[in-house]
Amino acid sequence: MKKVSIYTTPTCGYCKMAKEFFGKNSIAFEEYDVAADEEKRAEMIEKSGQMGVPVIFVDDEIVVGFDKPRLTELLGL
């Protein structure tokens, strides 16, 4: 099983769509709220070079934004 993590904020519509996509496809994921967690925010920026959310990791692959075709490919759906 692939390790999936998503960096989000509470007001992010694309974050919500990504989490719904994971739920519909029974994909377990870890969520980090970068609005509340400064350490995770810094980690996200360091790893991705991005300040926007969502930033999604599937194992070591990074997806910036809710890119459904790319996520589908990476997750083998």
Per-residue pLDDT reduced to its tens digit, 10-55 = 999 999 999 999 999 999 999 999 999 999 999 999 999 999 999 9
pLDDT at residue 66, rounded to an integer: 98
pTM of the model: 0.94
> How many Å is the Cα radius of gyration of the chain?
11
Identity of the residue numbered 19: K
Residue 1 pLDDT class (50, 70, 90 cuts): confident
pLDDT at residue 53, rounded to an integer: 97
Place of tokens 């790893």: 47
What is the C-alpha to C-alpha distance for residues 37 and 7, in angstroms, rounded to an integer?
10
User: Which of the listed CATH numbers 3.40.30.10, 3.40.50.11930, 3.40.50.1220, 3.40.50.720 matches domain 4-75?
Assistant: 3.40.30.10
> What ranges do the domains of the chain cover?
4-75
What is the C-alpha to C-alpha distance for residues 36 and 20, in angstroms, rounded to an integer?
21
Alpha-carbon dihedral angle through residues 71, 73, 74, 77, given to the nearest 10 degrees: 90
Distances (CA, A) of 8 to 76, 77: 23, 23
